[in-house]
Structure 1
Amino acid sequence: MNLRQQLTQFLTLAYVFSSAFIVWKAVSLVANSHSPIVVVLSGSMEPAFQRGDILFLWNRDARAKVGDVVVYEVKGKSIPIVHRVMREHHNDKKQLLLTKGDNNNVDDLNLYAYKQNYLNQKEDLVGTVKGYLPKLGYVTILISENQYFKFGLLGLLGLSALFSSE
């Protein structure tokens, strides 16, 4: 393979990654969320959502309602949590929410940050679930939890790049 073909492959790959990044940022702007698509990582929301479901989030609603499924992040922890709003308190300036997983026995007080009794709708919420695709996110879970699957997939991609004829 000559230099021109290698450069063409590299530019094509760069185009694919930059296009995906632009689409992600555009969806983030439309949904008003830094992470408009998340994957369910646990069984705490069964039977509503299963492990591996892909959730689509929207963060343009003025207030979350009791019964809404929301995704929130706790200060100091990087993994978003998908749970249902059980109780809400609000005034003109802010809304406070108490959440619980459908498959959990107790509310989420022990998951919140230190000395935090409620979630602040503006600060803690990533978004409200508006749609989902069942089980399609399981590949993400396999990649993050199984190192053999991750390295096998990377190996296949590398071999594919080496032996491609274009």
Structure 2
Amino acid sequence: MFSEEIATIRRLGVRHLLLQGLNFAMVLSTALMMWKGLSIVTNTESPIVVVLSESMEPAIQRGDLLFLSMPRTAPLALGDITVYKIPGAAIPIVHRVIETHDEKDSNEQWILTKGDNNHADDVGLYNGMRYLRRSHIVGKVQGYVPYVGYVTILMNDYPKLKYALLAVLGGGILLQRE
């Protein structure tokens, strides 16, 4: 069966392989353009994130796919679920706003967060800061889809699975005869 595919590829020639390579590049570039367009519309660098821990249970579960946006002018309010990233930290954190302080003179907002499933606030995660600045906030959660993010978690936990999936998808696109 595999030898038949190789014989078919040889029969189709270089032109067909180049066409399939261009189709593959077009699929990738379309996905990138859609991601960047969504980033502009939602005003956030990461409009979609996956929850990696249980710190927000029962409201948000590990593996949930979150949709984010960042309000351009409206301040964050108590109870908003936000995703924030501390400079130097490896991954963003999804937690709820439990305290805010607004400075009227500088238009700055200081934010304190806490995971629903945690006993203490997040000050220990802030790398010496007492509050987050609004610039640390990646986005505010607007909606979610439960459990869909487990695919991402599995691919990160098992890198060989990720490479196998990419090889199958890439091979499927390149070997497609249309």
In the superposition, the TM-score normalised over structure 2's length comes to: 0.86
Q: Is the CA contact (8 Å cut-off) linking 2:81 and 2:94 kept in structure 1?
A: yes
Provide the rounded CA distance (Å) in 2 between the counterparts of 1:132 and 1:100. Answer: 19
1:119 pairs with 2:132: yes
CA 1:11–1:158: 2 relative to 1, 3 Å: closer
Q: Equivalences for 1:135-154 in 2 at 5 Å?
A: 135-154=147-166
Q: Say which of 32, 40, 55 aligns to 2:66.
A: 55
Query: In percent, how many aligned pairs have the same letter?
Result: 49
Within-5 A mapping of 1:87-126: 87-92=99-104, 93-113=107-127, 115-121=128-134, 123-126=135-138
28-37 or 57-66, larger mean C-alpha shift: 57-66
Matched, 1:74 2:86: yes
Bigger helix share: 2
- Alignment partners' CA distance in 1, 2:55 and 2:158: 21
The secondary structure found in structure 2 opposite 1:110 is helix
Are residue 18 (structure 1) and residue 32 (structure 2) matched?
Answer: no
Q: How many residues align?
A: 164
What is the distance in 1 between the residues matched to 2:152 and 2:97? 26
- Partner residue of 1:128? 140
Whole-Å Cα distance in 1 between the matches of residues 22 and 171 of structure 2? 18
5+ residue gaps, structure 2: 1-8
Cα-to-partner distance string for 1:65-100 (whole Å, 9 max, x where unaligned): 000000000111131100000111112221111100
**Larger Rg, first or second structure (1 or 2):** 2
Q: Deviation of residue 48 (structure 1)?
A: 0.8
Aligned to 1:156: 168
